[in-house]
Structure 1
Amino acid sequence: MSTKPVIVYGASGYTGRLICEYLREFGIPFVAAGRSSATLKTSMESHVPGIETADYEIAEVAHDVESLTELFRGASVVCNTVGPFSSYGPEVVRACLAAGVHYLDTTGEQDWLITCDETYGADFAAAGLLLSPGLAQMYTTGEIAAELCLEYPGLDTLDIAVFWGGSPTIASTRTILVNAATSRAHYLRQNAYTEFDPNQGLVPLVVPGQHELAMSLPWGGTSHPVWYRNDPRVANCKAQGGVFNAELMNGVPLIVAQALEATKDMDPVARDAALTATAAQVMNQMPPRENPRLNKSLDSVHASGPLARAHCVIHGNQNYKQTGLMQAFAASWLLQQPPKRVGFASGCKAFGHRELLGQLRAFGLVSAPVLTVQDN
């Protein structure tokens, strides 16, 4: 049973450590939880600046509903970073529900968001609890830009582009490959999920702020179509993204195609092991701490309607730090007051897009949004 109000599950990973760092800055006591207490101890002491001033504990826990439920009891919020979430998320969500705590995670796996919405959302709502997957830079910062556009009526279509500088973490690389092998990417067309052409390949996109076209992928479909599927303002939503590094982007489809071909006849367990090994070949070491001159982010949203247009661009830096900050801010909010919405809800719906934007601005992680509106 936890004696701290917040639990960071998967705290020894790259994103988990950043969440712990920002929880320390918010002055929030937390439990750093995961499979190995030794790894957690080393990670906290070596990679979380100022950890000696934090009020925290370390907890080693098995990944099953019973063990997680016992750990979560007494806490208020769980920040889950253990992915792929479609593989490891159900136990954590079920344990949160059993223990009566709010659930946050950093996923970008569209199939997992759909599962959260359709399988667990009603139960969380009935319990007065928040179920908010996908609270992360690659999804929430773009959602903030979309919400700024949607403050103007008459818009029903969202065209979202998300780009970032740097390389994905070990966990993100594994998630990309595993998710590509087990699920399809969808966009929203007239309020219905529509599958991307799996053979689409790279798509060039015009990126604000540069002359060179950037290459993009559906990236699993992202969170946005799921969040907006039941939003009465939005009928269509498509999101694509990638890294600014063209060489890296050009290599992604080939790596994924080779992995899919090599594992197509395997059973799920063997396939998961093979994809994990492939991901390790692509990225097998923790990336260095982010550099704001190198690790940049760009979120661009074109919103349109029959007679109106809006375009919002948010430039930022240090993508994973944006995620860590938003997770810590959300935890802080939930310790002080109820979310704006319970059950399945995006970060913007649960905490407010301007509130989240204010935190990112206050910590110097994004610039002021550039918003252009044309209407009747």
Structure 2
Amino acid sequence: MSETKRVVVYGASGYTGRLICEYLREYGVPFVAAGRSADTLSASMATNVAGIETADYEVVEVTHDLESLTDLFQGASVVLNTVGPFSKWGPEVVEACLAAGAHYTDTTGEQDWLITCDEQYGADFAAAGLLLAPGIAQMYTTGEIAAEVALETPGLDTLDIAVFWGGSPTIASTQTILFNAALSGAHYLEQGRYVPFDPEAGHYQLAIPGQHELALALPWGGTSHPVWYRNDPRVANVKALGGVFNKALMLGVPQIVAAAIEATKDMDADDTYTALAATAAQVMSTMPPRENPRLNKSLDSVHASGPLGRAHCVIHGNQNYKQTGLLQAYAAYHLLQQPPKRVGFASGCQAFGHRELLGVLRSFGLVSAPVLTVES
């Protein structure tokens, strides 16, 4: 590990990894671009990362095993992990960070992986004074920011969250959707306890701000929000639904997932992963184009309620993958200069502050000012 490059982007050649590297360059943060193939990493940096010629970085090829990753992370302050599905590939990275004494973040949306991080690794990271922050990404953190803005009104204990975005998922995101749906259940939070969504419920129809047509939503694996708020004394109930604005794509998701579950129901774990990866490749086998702010819009809407009050916060944005890349890069930038607000298992807002993260996204033109309506 380079003594001057204390940030590792693991999985840097992927769609989100490239964007993280791009924003690290803008923050002036030296970094190591790590992954399985040095040739792929070098080509990806040169071809896909805007301004890479002015970045201070190096490419490192590494094998995905605990010993190799621990060696790579020695001397690092923070590891930004984009290698998913995280429930399959995450444990070695988390354990290597703990062994090397590095903070850990990732971009996961896998609820089972967040629960694992919380219950299996959180206490050890806290004892070491390290941050364990899975799920720092647009589809979760921007919605969390909206929830936190709504919760600035005291006396609200229930969060009803909707997260939408425009565009196509990446190859990795498609794999995560299938793995998450096929291998684990989706849960919401009710009176502080995890409750499973009905797997047979199908689509939910939501009236979302900014359009007359009802939008189709799914539990989307349950999302990160119920896990982050499970031990928050302000909040007793959290339900999150999400989707893309493309209704045809949303209509197809349950059928694809159901077919994948049926095809793999009698397989062992290794064969199941192989089969699901093949199915994901049939759905999305090429990287989507670079985001266009006119097309790749995002919407985070949170209704917060309590016995005697209501608040509704809406955040409109664009380029959800760029939001993710920026949030990850800022996390590293922050951690290089000062400790997080919380160590151990923590969300992006818990670690860095929701108003701070909102300011970061707004300063780069990726979200508008929150629209907050309060009834009391």
Verify same fold: TM over 0.5. Answer: yes
- Mapped pair 1:125 → 2:130: no
- Residue matched to 1:30: 31
Structure-2 residue corresponding to 1:302: 303
For 1:176 and 1:226, locate their aligned partners in 2 and report how far apart those are by CA, in whole Å.
18
Does the CA contact (< 8 Å) of 1:150 and 1:303 recur in 2?
Answer: yes
1:193-232 aligned within 5 A: 193-232=194-233
Contact 1:146 1:158 in 2 (8 A): yes
| Alpha-carbon separation, structure 2, partners of 1:326 and 1:339 | 14
Distance 2:79 2:192 in 1: 31
Structure 1 Cα separation of the partners of residues 341 and 191 of structure 2: 27
Cα distance in 1 for residues equivalent to 2:89 and 2:210: 38
Partners of 1:369 and 1:149 in 2: how far apart?
10
| Amino acid aligned to 1:24 | R
CA distance in 2, matches of 1:2, 1:80: 18
Q: Once the two structures are superposed, what CA deviation does each residue of 1:133-187 show, in whole Å capped at 9, x if it has no partner?
A: 0000000000000000111111000000000000000000011111111100000
1:78–1:101: 8 Å Cα contact kept in structure 2?
Answer: yes
CA distance in 2, matches of 1:2, 1:153: 47
Instruction: Give the match for residue 102 of structure 2.
Output: 101
SS at 1:204 equivalent: strand
Instruction: Return the alpha-carbon distance in structure 1 between the equivalents of residues 273 and 76 of structure 2.
Output: 32
Q: Hey, what's the Cα distance between the residues in 2 that align with 1:116 and 1:75?
A: 20
- Equivalence map 1:226-375=2 (5 Å): 226-375=227-376
Give the deviation of 1:2 after TM superposition.
Answer: 3.5
Structure 2 Cα separation of the partners of residues 213 and 2 of structure 1: 52
SS in 2 for 1:336: coil
1:2 matched to 2:2? The reply is: yes
Give per-residue Cα distances to partners, 1:304-341, cap 9 Å, x unaligned. Answer: 00000000000000000000000011100000000000
Aligned residues: 375
Contact persistence 1:2–1:73 (CA under 8 A): no
Q: How do residues 77-156 of structure 1 correspond to structure 2 at under 5 angstroms?
A: 77-156=78-157
Classify the secondary structure of the residue corresponding to 2:336. helix
Asked if the contact 1:2–1:71 (Cα under 8 Å) also holds between the matched residues in 2, the reply is no
Identity level (%): 80
Partner of 1:161: 162
2:311 aligned counterpart, secondary structure = strand
Structure 1: unaligned runs, 5 residues or longer: none
Distance in 2 of aligned mates of 1:242 and 1:202: 10
Map Cα deviations across residues 95-144 of structure 1 (whole Å, 9 max, x no partner): 00000000000000000000000000000000000000000000000000
Do the aligned residues in 2 keep the contact of 1:31 with 1:56 (CA within 8 Å)? yes
Task: Tell me the amino acid that sits aligned with residue 371 of structure 2.
Answer: V
Whole-Å separation in 2 of the counterparts to 1:179 and 1:358: 31
Cα offsets for 1:14-58 (capped at 9, x unmatched): 000000000000000000000000000000000001000000000
2-structure distance, mates of 1:95, 1:153:
40
2:32 alignment partner, SS class? strand
Q: SS of 1:33's equivalent?
A: strand
Q: Which runs of 5+ in 2 are unaligned?
A: none
In structure 2, what is the Cα distance between the partners aligned to 1:33 and 1:253?
Answer: 34
Task: Give distance in 2, aligned partners of 1:50 and 1:358.
Answer: 24
TM-score (norm 2): 0.99
Per-residue Cα deviation, 1:279-305 (whole angstroms, up to 9, x for no partner): 000000011000000000000000000
Give the whole-Å Cα distance in 1 for the aligned partners of 2:175 and 2:2: 30
Q: Is the contact made by 1:310 and 1:371 (CA closer than 8 Å) also made in structure 2?
A: yes
Structure 2 letter corresponding to 1:116? C
CA RMSD of aligned residues (A): 0.5
Match of residue 68 from structure 1: 69
Which residue identity does 2:2 align to in structure 1? S
SS at match of 2:316: strand
Counterpart code for 2:84: G
- Show structure 1 runs of 4+ deviating over 2 A: none
Aligned amino acid, residue 273 of structure 1: T
Give me the TM-score of the superposition, normalised by structure 1.
0.99
The one-letter code of the counterpart of 1:97 is: L
